[in-house]
Amino acid sequence: MDYSDEDGMVDTDSGEESLLSDNPVDSDYEFTDQDMDNASTSKRSQISYLVLKEEDVSKHQRTDIEQVSTVLSISQVESIVLLLHYQWNVSKVEDEWFTGEEKVRELVGMLKEPVVDLNDREVNIECGICFDSYTQKEVTTLSCGHPYCNVCWTGYITTTINDGPGCLTVKCPEPSCSAVTACQYMVDKVITDKEHKEKYYRYFVRSYVEASGNKIKWCPSPGCEYAIDFASGSGSEHYDVSCLCSYEFCWNCGEDAHRPVDCETVSKWISKNTDESENTNWILANTKPCPNCKRQIEKSMGCNHMGCSICKHRFCWNCLGPMKGHKNCHKFKGGNETNVKRKRAKRAIDRYMHYYERWASNQSSRLIAMADLKKLQSVQLKWLSIRQCTTESQLQFTVEAWRQIIECRRVLKWTYAYGYYLPEEEQTKKQFFEYLQGEAEAGLERLHHCAEEELKHFVFKTQDSSKNFGDFRRKLTGLTEATKTYFENLVKALENGLADVALSESSKSKTKSKPATKRRKLK
């Protein structure tokens, strides 16, 4: 389980030691004393990603701009133009520039010499848009030298910003001119509206992230402004990340965090949950066509005497024969293809609903647990601290328990998607999976009940004995550790593809196929 309070850096799990406990939690919940602080601290491993704030992204941008400006001996405005054109790829900018500077300037629109020379005129400079005359201070030009008044520039830049991210570089308004500059230069000079400035800088920062390809991505949580830099963990097989906004997602596919289930399984499961074919299966399994008009009819009452509301035809639900002259249909006459399909569809929908209901139930429980943790941290922890005469830091074991519950509900939820796609013919794997899942689920239910029900007695002071609270502390901490062990074992097994079972079956088959050797008689 991973939770980090550090700003920016977040740890994720790596391989753990053997996870099966030799002493599973028994029904009496008896645990020995231990160092509570160590017991409630999650294991940390390698840093596999970095959470970036907008100011962190801006810092990366400034570094790249300064590097290009220094190496190429050009202005920072020109550096921005080049970096935007080459998708913030510093090495590509430098390579292309030193290969052919003139070609790059022509391609990007960076002119060395102005096309229009104002001859150092101070007054009577005509704006190329409104055609009024202005002083030199009231006019702004790009590298091409075409003069436009600041009022016209303001309208032009504002319109460009409102049009979207294309505003990052601005082209000279003269139709025949190819000169381009960084919009930032013009924004700083002529835009005074705060909203438009913020909008531009938001586009500017986002351009760096969006140009990084698979190196940096924005957190997909609505309203979140953090980005995830996964480059430092590129060798990791685990893609679940936890943003500073508390949203957990898979960096690889963008869905909710789903370790230990792979992205392909998650994609199939989500598609199935929204697939219209499930509605077709339900109709096939729970309705029958009217023998006369063929409209699908659902039986809503106990009597088998049916009447179609469309064509008024009356028939028997069991055999679909007309009620007129109907005596009985209790004799078996052999199945037909339609009935076989109907039974197969009924079984398929029942199996799907088994896994879906438990998947949805654990998601619901997880959301409730997240709300309970928030309530504990904002209100109840302070009450408990006062009533038990201890510091809130000494009560962090309750927070760790809830965090473990939230993480385990997430894992358990996705194991039902894994179980649905586990081939039914692989019975040994299926049995091993269900055993691990069952042990983990039972442990989680014990922990969740303890944190949800027994903690209330001390928060609302229905039990006031400090000795009882000490027992509760040991019990909750022990359950947290035991549940963590169960789930680490489950995660490890699923990520290995239940390989232990395959190895076991392979060794058994080799033992059976090994020919018996005869002992030679000694002469």
129, amino acid identity:
I
Residue 309 has which token pair?
A: 């509301």
CA angle, 21 as apex, 432 and 357 as ends, to 5°? Answer: 45
Element (DSSP H or E) covering residue 20? none
Residue 494 has which token pair?
A: 């699923």
320, amino acid identity:
L
Q: For residues 302 and 315, is the Cβ–Cβ distance under 8 A? A: no
Q: Give the torsion sign (CA, 87, 92, 97, 100).
A: negative
Rounded CA-CA distance 342/295 in Å is: 16
Q: For residues 226 and 53, is the Cβ–Cβ distance under 8 A? A: yes
3-state secondary structure of 307: strand
Q: Report the catalytic residues.
A: 303
Contacts 24+ apart (CB under 8 A), 60-65: 60/208, 61/88, 61/204, 61/205, 61/208, 64/88, 64/90
Q: For residues 161 and 200, is the Cβ–Cβ distance under 8 A? A: yes
CA angle, 170 as apex, 165 and 171 as ends, to 5°? Answer: 130
